[in-house]
C-alpha cells in the first residue's frame, strides 16, 4: 500500500504517544498519526480528519474507550478500531470485540500492534469490496426487475435461485414462493417434457432457445420464447442455468388470426371462382330446358324436362347462396317485413336444432317495414340463433320476437336460457375472431359480421347476459318511412366524384352512369393519379369510387389514404371479395357492376356525408 494511512490516536499519556510513534516507525506502512485527548477533539477529528484507523486507550481520565468506540461506530462505521491499553481484563476485551472493535493490544506487547493494524486495514478493505459488489449485485437485480421478461436462474439440480418481478407477473408466483422450488414442478407437463433435451443442449453447447407452452399459477396456458444459457463457476464447471422467457401468447394469437383470415380470403376467392364456373354450366341447361318445354308434347318427356329445370334452378340457387356467403350479400336492399324473416328463421331452428331446445316466436301484427338486404338479415338472425343453440348444450328455450317501438324502430329479440356470459367474455364478443369455442367449432366471426351488417343498415345491436340464466340480443332497425324514401334521391347535383380504376371499361361505365345522372366525374387510372386528382379537388370532391385492390406506393390502401388527405370524403370501394381496401370504405359495391346499385350506393354515401 503506497497511500498514507491516517491513524487517529486517543491517548492521554504523552509518553505513551511518543512510544507508539517510535514503535510504528518500524512499520512498512506510511503512517500519519494524530493524537487527541478529549471527547470533543476526538469527535471533531472523526468528522473532519476522517481517519483510516482508530487506536484508543481503554481507560482515560476524562473520557472512556468504550464510549469512543460506540461513537466511532456511529460516525464512521467502516473505520477499524483497535484498543491499545496497559490493562484490559479478559471480560472487557471480549465485550469490546462484541461492540465492534477489531482488535485489542496490550501496551506491554507493542510489536503486536503493527500486525494488528495491518490486519484491521486488510479486513476493512475486504469489507469495502464486499459492500461494493453487494451493491452492484443489488443494482443489477433491480435492473432485472425492470424487465418484463421472466428471468429465472436455477442451480444444476433445477432449484430456483433467482426469480425476477417479470417472472412474478408472468407466472403469478411471488419470489418468496418460487425460490428453492424445483423448476420442473412449475410450468406444466408440456414444458417439462421438453426440459431434458433443452438442458442437454445447454450443457453441451452453452445455450438453448425455443418456444414452449407454460402453465401459470392460475392455470392459464401461455406461449413463451425461452432462451437458456449455462453459467459456469470460477473453476469452469457448470454452476447454474439462466433462462429468459418472453410471453409471446398475444403475438402468436395475432399470427394465427392473420393466417385464418388469409385462409378465409382464399377460400372466398376459390368459392366465388367455382360459383362463377357453375353458373356458366347451369345457364345453358336452364335455357335449353326452357326451350325443350315448348317443343315437347309427350307427357313423360315434359316431366323429365321439368325435373331438369327444377334441379338446375336449385343448383343455381345454391350457387347464389354460396356467392352471398362469400361476398356477404349482393347488397340489394328492398323493403322487407322483418317479422316474416324472423318466422322463417324460427322455422329453421325448430326443424334443425336438437329436440331439447324449445323454439318459440312472437311477431307483432302490422310490423312496419325496413329497408334492408334480406340475405344479410337472414344471416344475422341465423348467427344469433346458432349462438343461442351452442349456449344451451343441455337444452333450454329459444325465443324470437319482433315488434315496433315508438321511436320508429323495429326491434328483433333473440333470447336463450343458456349459459350466459361472464363480463370479461361479454366485453369481447364483437371482436373479430373472439371465440370461446374449441378450435374448429367456431371462427369467432359470427358476431363481428352481425354487428357489421346491423351497423351498415343504420341499426343498433345490444346484448344483455346473466351467467347461468341466459342471454338476450336485441337488434334495432330504423323503419322505412315515406319521408326517408323520398329524400334518397339518386340524382346528382353536380357533385364531384373521383373514379379510380385501372380498368378502362370500369372507368367508362361508372363515368357514364354518373354523368348521366347529374354528377361531375373525374377519373384516374392509377393510385398516384387518384391522389393527384383528390388533392386538386379537395374541398370540392364529395365521393371517391375506387377499386378496393388499389394501393399507394407506401402499400396502404387507396381508400384509407384518400380519407386522410380529404377528410370527410365519402368512400366507396369496388370489390370482388373481402379485402382490406373494402374495410376502409363507407360502402362496398360488388362486381359485376350494376347501374342501379351504383347510383343507390352513391346516394346513400352522399346522405351519410350530409348528415354528418
Ligand X SMILES: Nc1ncnc2c1ncn2[C@@H]1O[C@H](COP(=O)(O)OP(=O)(O)OP(=O)(O)O)[C@@H](O)[C@H]1O
Residue partners of 289: CB distance under 8 A and separation at least 6: 305, 308, 309, 312
User: What is the smallest separation between the CB atom of 442 and ligand X, expressed in angstroms?
Assistant: 3
Burial 21-35 (b: 16+ CB within 10 A, else e): eeebeeeebebeeeb
Give which of ligand X, Mg ion, none residue 34 binds (C-beta under 5 to 8 Å, depending on kind): none
User: What is the smallest separation between the CB atom of 583 and ligand X, expressed in angstroms?
Assistant: 17
Radius of gyration of the chain, Cα coordinates, nearest whole angstrom: 43
Nearest CA among 477, 479, 471, 480 for reference residue 454? 477
Residue partners of 353: CB distance under 8 A and separation at least 6: 359, 385, 389, 398
Q: Does 437 bind ligand X (CB under 6 A)?
A: yes
User: What is the smallest separation between the CB atom of 275 and Mg ion, expressed in angstroms?
Assistant: 24
Question: Interface with Mg ion by CB under 5 A: which range of 18-26, 282-290, 386-394, 420-428?
Answer: 386-394
Give which of Mg ion, ligand X, none residue 388 binds (C-beta under 5 to 8 Å, depending on kind): ligand X
User: What is the smallest separation between the CB atom of 460 and ligand X, expressed in angstroms?
Assistant: 17
Closer Cβ to Mg ion, 120 or 451, answer by number: 451
User: What is the smallest separation between the CB atom of 186 and ligand X, expressed in angstroms?
Assistant: 30
Closer Cβ to ligand X, 424 or 564, answer by number: 424
Q: Does 527 bind Mg ion (CB under 5 A)?
A: no
Question: Interface with Mg ion by CB under 5 A: which range of 20-28, 272-280, 387-395, 575-583?
Answer: 387-395
Map residues 438-467 to x or -, x wherever contact with ligand X holds by CB under 6 A.
----xxxxxxx-------------------
Strand-pairing partners, residue 241, are 154, 230
Closer Cβ to ligand X, 350 or 435, answer by number: 435
Q: Residues binding Mg ion: what is the number (CB under 5 A)? A: 2
Nearest CA among 589, 568, 564, 583 for reference residue 499? 589
Q: DSSP H helical segments within 45-164, as ranges? A: 65-75, 90-99, 111-146
Residues 377-436 interacting with ligand X (rule: CB under 6 A): 383, 387-388, 391, 416, 418-419, 421, 425, 429, 434-436
User: What is the smallest separation between the CB atom of 577 and ligand X, expressed in angstroms?
Assistant: 18
Give which of Mg ion, ligand X, none residue 419 binds (C-beta under 5 to 8 Å, depending on kind): ligand X
Q: Does 238 bind ligand X (CB under 6 A)?
A: no
Residues 427-446 interacting with Mg ion (rule: CB under 5 A): 446
User: What is the smallest separation between the CB atom of 338 and ligand X, expressed in angstroms?
Assistant: 20
Closer Cβ to ligand X, 409 or 465, answer by number: 465
Q: Residues binding ligand X: what is the number (CB under 6 A)? A: 22
- The residue number with the shortest CB distance to ligand X is 446
Give which of ligand X, Mg ion, none residue 101 binds (C-beta under 5 to 8 Å, depending on kind): none
Question: Which member of 165, 202, 324, 387 binds Mg ion (CB under 5 A)?
Answer: 387
User: What is the smallest separation between the CB atom of 383 and ligand X, expressed in angstroms?
Assistant: 6
Nearest CA among 135, 108, 112, 121 for reference residue 81? 121
User: What is the smallest separation between the CB atom of 471 and ligand X, expressed in angstroms?
Assistant: 4
Closer Cβ to ligand X, 365 or 441, answer by number: 441
Residues 420 and 467: beta-carbon distance below 8 Å: yes
CA distance linking residue 399 with residue 258, whole number of Å:
36
Bond from prior residue into 276 cis (ω within 30 degrees of 0):
no
Nearest CA among 408, 403, 415 for reference residue 339? 403
Measured between alpha carbons, how far apart are the two ends of the chain, in Å?
84
Q: Is 213 helix (H, G, I), strand (E, B) or coil?
A: strand
Strand-pairing partners, residue 336, are 370
CA distance linking residue 13 with residue 144, whole number of Å:
56
Residue partners of 238: CB distance under 8 A and separation at least 6: 156, 203, 230, 231, 232
CA distances from 272 to 17, 56, 576, 579, 590 (A): 107, 100, 9, 14, 12
Q: Is 245 helix (H, G, I), strand (E, B) or coil?
A: strand
User: What is the smallest separation between the CB atom of 359 and ligand X, expressed in angstroms?
Assistant: 14
Closer Cβ to Mg ion, 64 or 390, answer by number: 390
Rounded to 5 degrees, φ, ψ at 546 are: -130, 150
Q: Which residues here bind Mg ion, judged by CB under 5 A?
A: 387, 446
Q: Which residues here bind ligand X, judged by CB under 6 A?
A: 383, 387-388, 391, 416, 418-419, 421, 425, 429, 434-437, 442-448, 471
Amino acid at each position: 500500500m503506497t497511500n498514507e494511512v491516517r491513524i487517529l490516536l486517543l491517548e492521554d499519556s504523552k509518553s505513551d504517544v511518543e512510544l507508539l510513534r517510535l514503535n510504528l516507525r518500524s512499520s512498512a506502512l506510511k503512517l500519519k498519526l494524530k493524537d487527541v485527548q478529549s471527547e470533543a477533539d476526538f469527535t471533531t477529528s472523526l468528522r473532519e480528519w476522517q481517519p483510516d484507523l482508530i487506536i484508543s486507550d481503554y481507560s482515560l481520565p476524562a473520557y472512556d474507550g468504550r464510549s469512543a468506540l460506540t461513537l466511532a461506530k456511529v460516525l464512521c462505521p467502516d473505520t477499524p478500531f483497535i484498543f491499545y491499553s496497559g490493562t484490559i481484563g479478559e471480560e472487557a476485551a471480549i465485550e469490546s470485540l462484541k461492540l465492534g472493535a477489531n482488535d485489542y493490544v496490550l501496551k506491554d506487547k507493542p510489536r503486536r500492534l503493527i500486525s494488528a493494524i495491518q490486519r484491521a486495514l486488510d479486513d476493512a478493505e475486504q469489507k469495502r469490496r464486499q459492500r461494493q459488489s453487494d451493491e452492484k449485485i443489488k443494482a443489477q437485480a433491480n435492473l432485472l426487475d425492470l424487465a418484463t421478461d421472466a428471468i429465472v436462474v436455477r442451480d444444476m439440480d433445477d432449484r430456483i435461485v433467482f426469480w425476477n418481478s417479470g417472472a412474478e407477473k408472468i407466472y403469478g408466483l411471488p419470489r418468496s414462493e418460487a425460490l428453492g422450488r424445483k423448476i420442473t414442478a412449475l410450468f406444466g407437463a408440456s414444458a417439462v417434457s421438453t426440459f431434458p433435451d433443452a438442458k442437454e443442449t445447454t450443457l453441451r453447447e452453452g445455450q438453448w432457445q425455443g418456444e414452449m407452452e407454460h402453465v401459470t399459477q392460475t392455470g392459464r396456458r401461455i406461449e413463451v420464447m425461452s432462451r437458456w444459457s449455462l453459467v459456469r463457476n470460477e473453476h469452469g464447471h457448470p454452476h447454474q442455468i439462466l433462462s429468459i422467457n418472453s410471453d409471446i401468447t398475444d403475438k402468436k394469437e395475432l399470427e394465427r388470426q392473420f393466417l385464418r383470415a388469409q385462409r378465409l380470403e382464399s377460400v372466398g376467392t376459390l368459392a366465388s371462382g367455382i360459383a362463377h364456373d357453375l353458373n356458366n354450366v347451369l345457364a345453358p341447361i336452364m335455357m335449353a330446358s326452357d326451350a325443350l318445354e315448348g317443343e315437347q308434347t309427350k307427357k313423360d318427356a315434359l316431366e323429365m324436362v321439368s325435373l331438369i329445370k327444377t334441379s338446375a334452378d336449385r343448383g343455381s340457387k345454391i350457387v347464389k347462396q354460396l356467392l352471398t356467403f362469400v361476398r356477404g350479400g349482393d347488397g340489394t336492399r328492398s323493403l322487407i317485413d322483418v317479422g316474416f324473416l324472423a318466422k322463417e328463421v324460427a322455422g329453421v331452428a325448430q326443424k334443425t336444432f336438437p329436440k331439447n331446445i324449445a323454439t318459440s316466436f312472437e311477431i307483432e301484427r302490422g310490423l312496419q317495414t325496413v329497408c334492408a338486404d334480406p340475405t344479410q338479415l337472414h344471416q344475422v338472425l341465423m348467427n344469433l340463433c346458432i349462438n343461442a343453440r351452442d349456449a344451451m348444450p343441455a337444452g333450454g328455450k329459444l325465443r324470437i320476437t319482433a315488434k315496433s317501438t315508438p321511436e320508429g324502430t323495429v326491434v328483433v329479440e333473440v333470447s336463450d336460457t343458456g349459459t350466459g356470459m361472464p363480463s370479461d367474455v361479454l366485453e369481447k364478443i364483437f371482436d373479430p375472431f373472439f371465440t370461446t369455442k374449441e378450435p374448429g367449432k367456431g371462427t369467432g366471426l359470427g358476431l363481428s359480421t352481425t354487428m357489421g351488417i346491423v351497423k351498415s343498415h343504420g341499426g343498433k345491436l345490444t346484448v344483455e347476459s346473466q351467467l347461468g340464466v341466459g342471454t338476450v340480443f336485441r337488434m334495432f332497425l330504423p323503419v322505412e318511412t315515406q319521408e326517408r324514401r323520398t329524400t334518397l334521391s339518386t340524382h346528382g347535383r353536380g357533385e364531384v366524384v373521383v373514379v379510380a380504376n385501372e380498368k378502362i371499361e370500369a372507368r367508362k361505365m361508372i363515368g357514364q352512369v354518373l354523368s348521366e345522372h347529374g354528377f361531375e366525374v373525374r377519373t384516374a387510372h392509377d393510385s398516384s393519379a387518384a391522389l393527384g386528382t383528390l388533392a386538386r379537388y379537395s374541398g370540392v370532391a364529395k365521393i371517391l369510387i375506387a377499386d378496393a385492390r388499389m394501393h399507394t406506393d407506401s402499400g396502404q390502401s387507396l381508400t384509407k389514404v384518400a380519407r386522410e388527405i380529404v377528410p370527410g370524403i365519402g368512400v366507396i370501394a369496388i370489390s370482388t371479395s373481402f379485402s382490406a381496401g373494402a374495410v376502409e370504405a363507407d360502402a362496398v359495391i360488388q362486381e359485376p357492376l350494376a347501374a342501379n346499385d351504383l347510383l343507390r350506393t352513391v346516394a346513400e354515401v352522399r346522405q351519410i356525408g350530409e348528415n354528418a
